Structure 1
Amino acid sequence: MIVRRNFAAATLALGVLALPCASFAQGAPTVTIRQGALHGAVVEGVEEFWGIPYAAPPVGDLRWRPPAAGPSWKGERDATKAGASCQPARDGTQVEDCLFANVTRPAGAKPGAKLPVLVWIHGGGFTIGSATGAFGAETDGIQFAKDGVITVSVSYRLGRAGWFAHPALCKEGPCGNYGLMDQIAALKWVQANVAAFGGDPKNVTIAGESAGGISVLELMLAPDARGFFQKAIGESSFGRLEPTAMADAQAAGLTAAATAGVSGEDAAAAAALRKVALSAMPYTGPFTSRAGPILDGRYVQSGIYEGFAAGKQAKVPLLIGGNSNEASLFRPKAEAVDAIPAERKAAAIAAFDPKGTGNKAQMANDMATRQYITEPDRAISRAQAKTGQPVYAYYFSYVSPGAKAQLPFGAPHTAEIKYAFAGPKQKFAPEDLALAKAVNAYWAAFIKSGNPDSAGGPAWPKFAPNETYMEFSADGPAPHEHFLKAQLDWQEAAVKAGGGASPTAPK
């Protein structure tokens, strides 16, 4: 069933699409948080405060330890510039003093205004990425501020700095998931300080894409994060991800340490590790397996789906989904279709090529997309719906008319981010604006109330009971019951038959 309303009614004004013009002196906004006073900038008619340290610099003896309290200062701190990125440079060097938050709020917001708050966690495979925007999308939240939402984007330790286990370090206390610990510290900082910006600490939505989406689901499962958010948005969040076993992570840590000339598992080894350059422990192997959650028993206690199926997640409204060609991240080959076991091939062709086109490249991409994102989204949605909380599932398939030749298999990984933020820094073709306005309106409505259907566009039903996805396509937003059921059922059967591995899995 497809329910439609006036598509134009779904849109909110984006404002003038122009380069940002900042004013730093006269009329610069100020705010006082627990650490001290800040002065920010007016950008595109909203107010921004950048580069706020939410935790102590994790350097020296604080490297590979849980984040410590952020510094305080006297006088007024300049918050008009972004803090250092946690992303390693091309030569492997890495700035470790990088735990910063950026706040964008509506103009004139005052303490006590109780505005809804979005906390954005960036993606990048836990190895790259930036709180200030990446992958062709700016995530500073300018349009959300125009929608009446405060956006807090946060950085967290990446690569070896953030996701690293070693026996010597683990003897000291919690180890491995330092990046996740940072995210929890950032949420605690938001609870302590967002009211000063005009935000409501009791109306916080966590959101992220890819590694950020994985982080959202991990935070929903982490006992230490419980109570610090009230809603969640997972974009391309790999809901069946299994964490690395601690024994394997420590073995990899020992190998990396040996590469840097550090041996042993005692306190001396820990001290020596904290003195080596992170670039002395380069990664090998595919990008998608370099860093990520480790099964530490505290912050990460199970695989994501296993935790949700057991009902261990936060009972909060969830908006979750992915794009039509998530396989762009893995680039499967058409020959993968030929490797499907004979007993399953007929069902695969019936589900993925019902018109008999013989397009194996499209089939391979669709199969990988269903494996990594679309079917896990359905599994997570089913589990969350069982808790009695509202779940809203989406499928982003829109490709700009001017990009169809370059994107024959559909909307690639990360494509939806700029549509969700839809700010004046984004570069939209005129024909893309209507959908951008609609997506942003739905996201803003969910952030405010936990219900995207209040955006005013075509009705967005809850996922349950009819397993409904809202598709964002060239025809605009439209809900579909039992969306892609044959394909998702085929992939679910693959999971049950052999742990979910398909011929399109990355090597």
Structure 2
Amino acid sequence: MISRRLAACAALAVLALSPAAFAQAPAGAFASDVSQTVKVKQGALKGTVKDAIAYHLGIPYAAAPVGELRWKPPAAGPRWSGERDASAPGASCQAEEDCLFLNVVRPAGAKAGDKLPVMVWIHGGAYVIGTSMGAFGGDTEGTNFAKRGIVHVSLNYRLGRAGWFAHPALTREGPTGNYGMMDQVAALQWVRDNIAAFGGDPANVTIYGESAGGVSVHYLMLAPQAKGLFAKAIGQSSFARHVPEPLAKAEAKGVQAAKAAGVEGEDAAAAAALRKLPLASLPYTGGFVGRAGPILDGTYITGGIAQGYAAGRQAKVPLMIGGNSNEASLFRPQPALLDSLPETARAAVSSAFDPEGTGDKARIVHALQTAQLITEPDRNLARLHAGAGQPTWLYYFSYVPPSKAAQKPYGAAHTDEIRFVFGAPRAGFAPEDLPLSGAMNELWANFAKTGAPGAAWPKFLPGETSVEFGNDGVQVRREHLKARLDLVEAMQPK
């Protein structure tokens, strides 16, 4: 009973993000009078240099997925003669369909043959909003990673109806539903084929992402189509028990949306009619979360994340995984959940999540939802991956800036770690925040370079060891939060 109620709690959560939170980083932030040209397979790219960092932005890694190419696997990117301007980011996929662009940021002196490590960032946003360079203060372009000798790539992928949509008429054409994931694979193939021109090593690529981007990392770990395209992976707040939507259910939703837009049938004529519609004419039903996302298509996605890892289907590469102490902060808290539980279950939850006996129902539910959605699934995945003999590191981010303590009484919110990982200079850090940000940026860079964050951060096994990034610095923990995670594990639907 309690597991069903907790599952319902997760299903009812509504993510309180606004599109403005993902506004594209301003092009002026990268303006420079110095240019730098790099030749890729499609043609020459003229980027800019600022403070010894080179920016090549708005690179089309695939053809515009519009018209007849809507809801098709990404086609080869355009070629051009002369120099293509690469001084500004391309359009975001939450704004336009012609959006399959990526950005490369690197040390200005890097050259072909240097074989610098490569990091590829996959943004979050519930598969509905987001952009490669604009999450929560901007700076996800990777400038600070480039300062550490990394070639950093950030990419757009199709969102919402454009990226995650199924309909029987489309299923008949071939690979279906997960067009955004197909874009991610295509971007990684572009990196494999072109990153050496920027001084990067195509054999030393780390994929990493947060929230929906973290979920994407795990599905790429499980996808045969992505095999060999990366050598390491990082999942941040990655919902590691995510289960894809069954294809039949996704198709039924697609048929419903098509009929609402005036398109009947399941044949080629219906597919053609759908491609002529404005995407906005295909309505959503329900809340923000669950509008779009991975579909069990049987080709790119063949099962849930935890099930895939348990079966040993994941890429055998080093993995970092973790989440924040109050992931539920961006979800509507449901204190009434406690009152709806049987007395014995309520007592067990209160004992594990409120050992001080405060009776603060909101605090308990925030912690409970966080453990159910992120922290326990992270531990489970770490166990599975490390148990398969793969190097695995687990983290827990609980740092709350002293200046934000009153606003964040229950801990670090979903997405809070992003600006610390990137060391985002435009994110409004106070001086006391900088040491932790510098440490995290360095640890992520170390992992990309060597496959390990550093000796101060032990592997998950033995001892189920993790590190906590908190207000007392970086601390090594063993069996962290064991009592509450064991309880949540027992509550998981079997």
If the TM-score is normalised by the length of the shorter chain, which range does it land in? over 0.9
TM-score normalised by structure 1 residue count:
0.91
* C-alpha distance in structure 2 between counterparts of 1:180 and 1:64, whole Å: 12
Work out whether 1:98 is the aligned partner of 2:99.
yes
1:110 is matched with which residue? 111
Letter in 1 for 2:62: A
For residues 369 and 51 of structure 2, the distance between their equivalents in structure 1, rounded to whole angstroms, comes to 40
Could you tell me which residue of structure 2 aligns to residue 66 of structure 1?
A: 73
The SS at the match of 2:35 is: coil
* Deviation, structure 1 residue 20: 7.6
| Residues in 2 aligned to 1:275 and 1:43: alpha-carbon distance in whole angstroms | 43
Aligned residues: 468
Q: How does 1:104-503 map to 2 (within 5 A)?
A: 104-453=105-454, 459-495=456-492, 498-499=493-494
Q: Given that residues 38 and 79 in structure 1 are in contact (C-alpha distance below 8 angstroms), is that contact kept between their aligned partners in structure 2? A: yes
What code does the residue aligned with 2:310 have? A
User: Counterparts of 1:265 and 1:21 in 2: how far apart (Å)?
Assistant: 47
2:3 aligned residue: none
**1-side partners of 2:178 and 2:271: how far apart?**
16
Q: CA deviation at 1:29?
A: 1.2
Structure 1 residue 282, shift from structure 2 partner: 2.3
1:32 aligns with 2:39: yes
Q: Which residue of 2 aligns with 1:14?
A: none
Instruction: Report how far residue 341 of structure 1 moved.
Output: 2.4
Q: For 2:271 and 2:385, locate their aligned partners in 1 and report how far apart those are by CA, in whole Å.
A: 40
Find out whether 1:42 has 2:49 as its counterpart: yes
Rate the CA distance shift 1:21–1:326 in 2: closer, same or farther, 3 A: closer
Match of 1:77 in 2: 84
d(CA) in 1 for partners of 2:394 and 2:50?
33
Higher relative contact order (CA 8 A, sep 6+): 1
Q: Is the 8 A contact 1:163 1:179 kept in 2?
A: yes
Q: Residue 45 of structure 2 contacts residue 86 of structure 2 at CA under 8 Å; is this kept in 1?
A: yes
Residue range with higher mean Cα deviation, 43-52 or 237-246: 43-52
Match of 2:106, as an amino acid?
R
RMSD: 1.3
Question: Hey, what's the Cα distance between the residues in 2 that align with 1:45 and 1:331?
Answer: 44
**Secondary structure in 2 matching 1:452:** coil
Query: Which runs of 5 or more residues in structure 2 are unaligned?
Result: 1-26
Instruction: Rate the CA distance shift 1:86–1:488 in 2: closer, same or farther, 3 A.
Output: same
On the 8 A contact 1:20/1:43 being kept in 2, the answer is no
User: 1:45-82, CA deviations, whole angstroms, 9 ceiling, x for partnerless residues?
Assistant: 31100000000100110000000110110000000011
Could you give the per-residue CA deviations for residues 442-478 of structure 1, whole angstroms, max 9, x where no partner exists? 1111111111015xxxx11101121112100011100
Shift of 1:424: 2.8
What is the percentage of aligned positions where both structures have the same residue?
60
- Kindly provide the amino acid, as one letter, of the partner of residue 468 in structure 1: T
- Tell me the distance in 1 between the aligned counterparts of 2:476 and 2:87: 41
Checking the alignment, whether the CA contact within 8 Å between 1:331 and 1:365 is kept in structure 2 is no
> What is the CA deviation profile of residues 263-299 of structure 1, one whole-angstrom value per residue up to 9, with x for unaligned ones?
1000000000000000001222111110110000010
Q: Which runs of 5+ in 1 are unaligned?
A: 1-18, 89-94, 500-507
Could you list the per-position Cα deviations for residues 391-450 of structure 1 after superposition, in whole angstroms to 9, with x for gaps in the alignment?
A: 110000001011111111110000000100103333211110111111111111111111
Q: Distance in 2 between matches of 1:73 and 1:20?
A: 25
Secondary structure (helix, strand or coil) at the match of 1:453 reads coil
- 1:214 Cα shift? 0.2
Is the Cα–Cα contact under 8 Å of residues 205 and 232 in structure 1 kept in the other structure? Answer: yes
Corresponding residue of 1:87: 94
**Residues 471 and 478 of structure 1 are in contact (CA less than 8 Å); yes or no, is this contact kept in structure 2?**
yes
* Residue identity in the other structure for 1:230: A
Q: Which region of structure 1 is more displaced relative to structure 2, 345-354 or 396-405?
A: 345-354
TM-aligned CA deviation for residue 34 of structure 1:
0.4
